[in-house]
C-alpha cells in the first residue's frame, strides 16, 4: 500500500465520485480508477459502491477511512520535522476548535504566530461535539484542540488559556430597570442557542439545570453567527461570552451580567509526544500570551 493510493482513496471518498476526485487531483480518471482498483485487489475488499455518476463507501471503505487519514498525517508530520531542521518556521498546523473559542483566544494566537512565522500554514476545523476535538487530537488528525470545562488526561496534555465570563444578551429595551438577570428571567423572553452538543449549548444547558428550568430553546440555530442578529431582531435572548457580547452591545443589544457569575475555562490540548517544531513554537507562544492559571478557575 502506497501513500499515493491512500491520497487517491481519500480524494474519492471526500468528493463522492471518481470524476470530481480526478479533477481535484489533476490526474486522468482512468489512472485514478486503476490505482483504486489495485488498492482494492491488494486489500481483498471493494472500497466503493459504484452508483451511476457517484460512489459510496462500502463497510470496508469506512473501516479504511480513519487509518488512511492517520497514515497521511504521519507522513506530513515526518516531512515537517525534517524540513524544520533546515527551514525554521516551515510547516502546517491543524487545530480543531468550536467557533466560540476559535474567535477568542485562537485568532489572537494564530495572528501573533503568523507574524513571527509567515511560512507556517494553519487549518482550523469546526467540530460538532467536544468528543470530536478529543478524538482528532488523540488520533493525530489535529495537532491541537481547544476545549472548555475539565481538561482531558491520558495521552493528552493541556494548558489553561483563559476564562470566558458569560453574560445575557437581550433585544433592545428588554427587561427595563434590571441591572443584572437570572437565567430563569430569560426563559420567558425565549432563549436562542446553537445545536445540542455544541459548546454554547452545553454551557446554557448547565445554567438551566442549576436554575431548575427545562432545557427549552425558542430558536435553535446551526449558525453561531446568526445568534446576535436573531437577538437584535427580537427573536429572544442568548448567553454569550463577553467578547461576543461587546459586539452585540455596539449593535444595539442590551447586555446584562448574570446574577450567578458563570465562567468557562478554555484549555489548549495536544498529544503528550510528537509535536512538530512549529507545534512546539505554537505552544510556547500560547504559553507566553496567556499567563499562569488563576488561583480559582471555574470548571464547568
CB contact set of 178 (below 8 Å; sequence gap of 6+): 185, 256
Domain with CATH 3.40.190.10 in the chain: 81-160+264-289
End-to-end CA distance of the chain: 45
Rounded mean pLDDT of 244-260? 93
Which pLDDT does position 82 carry in this prediction?
62
Domain with CATH 3.40.190.290 in the chain: 163-263
CB contact set of 159 (below 8 Å; sequence gap of 6+): 267, 268, 283, 286, 287
Which pLDDT does position 62 carry in this prediction?
93
Which pLDDT does position 290 carry in this prediction?
83
pTM: 0.63
Query: What is d(CA 97, CA 148) in angstroms, rounded to the nearest whole number?
Result: 10
The CATH label, of 3.40.50.880, 1.10.10.10, 3.30.1310.10, 2.60.40.1180, for the domain at 3-71 is: 1.10.10.10
Domain with CATH 1.10.10.10 in the chain: 3-71
- Side-chain-side CA neighbours of 151 within 13 Å: the count stands at 22
Query: What is d(CA 7, CA 127) in angstroms, rounded to the nearest whole number?
Result: 23
Rounded mean pLDDT of 152-178? 91
- Which CATH fold would you assign to the domain 81-160+264-289? D-Maltodextrin-Binding Protein; domain 2 (3.40.190)
Q: What is the pLDDT of residues 176-235, one digit of tens each?
A: 999 999 999 999 999 999 988 888 898 999 999 999 999 899 999 988 889 999 999 999
19, three cell numbers = 470524476
CATH number for the domain formed by residue range(s) 163-263: 3.40.190.290
8 Å CB contact between 152 and 268: no
pLDDT surpasses 60 at 289? yes
Which pLDDT does position 292 carry in this prediction?
56
- Helices marked H in the chain: 3-15, 18-25, 29-43, 59-86, 99-101, 107-116, 130-139, 183-186, 199-211, 227-232, 242-250, 277-289
Query: What is d(CA 277, CA 273) in angstroms, rounded to the nearest whole number?
Result: 12
- 26-30, 75-79, 261-265: least confident range: 75-79
Rounded mean pLDDT of 50-71? 89
Amino acid at each position: 500500500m502506497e501513500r499515493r493510493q491512500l491520497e487517491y482513496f481519500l480524494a474519492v471518498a471526500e468528493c463522492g465520485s471518481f470524476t470530481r476526485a480526478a479533477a481535484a487531483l489533476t490526474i486522468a480518471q482512468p489512472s485514478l480508477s486503476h490505482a483504486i482498483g489495485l488498492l482494492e485487489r491488494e486489500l481483498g475488499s471493494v472500497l466503493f459502491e459504484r452508483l451511476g455518476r457517484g460512489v459510496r463507501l462500502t463497510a470496508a471503505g469506512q473501516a479504511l477511512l480513519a487509518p488512511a487519514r492517520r497514515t497521511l498525517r504521519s507522513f506530513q508530520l515526518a516531512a515537517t520535522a525534517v524540513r524544520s531542521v533546515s527551514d525554521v518556521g516551515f510547516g502546517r498546523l491543524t487545530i480543531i476548535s468550536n467557533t466560540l473559542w476559535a474567535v477568542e483566544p485562537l485568532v489572537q494566537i494564530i495572528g501573533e504566530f503568523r507574524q513571527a512565522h509567515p511560512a507556517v500554514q494553519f487549518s482550523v476545523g469546526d467540530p460538532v461535539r467536544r468528543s470530536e476535538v478529543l478524538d482528532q487530537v488523540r488520533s493525530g488528525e489535529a495537532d491541537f484542540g481547544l476545549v472548555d470545562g475539565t481538561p482531558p488526561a491520558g495521552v493528552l496534555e493541556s494548558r489553561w488559556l483563559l476564562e470566558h465570563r458569560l453574560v445575557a444578551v437581550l433585544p433592545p429595551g428588554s427587561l427595563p430597570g434590571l441591572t443584572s438577570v437570572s437565567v430563569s428571567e430569560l426563559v420567558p423572553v425565549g432563549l436562542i442557542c446553537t445545536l445540542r452538543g455544541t459548546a454554547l449549548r452545553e454551557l446554557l444547558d448547565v445554567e438551566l439545570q442549576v436554575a431548575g428550568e427545562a432545557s427549552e430553546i425558542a430558536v435553535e440555530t446551526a449558525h453561531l453567527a446568526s445568534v446576535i442578529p436573531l437577538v437584535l431582531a427580537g427573536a429572544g435572548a442568548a448567553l454569550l461570552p463577553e467578547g461576543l457580547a461587546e459586539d452585540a452591545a455596539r449593535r444595539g443589544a442590551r447586555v446584562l451580567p448574570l446574577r450567578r457569575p458563570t465562567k468557562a475555562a478554555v484549555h489548549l490540548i495536544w498529544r503528550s509526544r510528537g509535536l512538530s517544531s512549529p507545534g512546539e513554537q505554537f505552544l510556547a507562544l500560547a504559553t507566553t500570551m496567556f499567563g499562569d492559571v488563576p488561583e480559582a478557575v471555574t470548571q464547568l
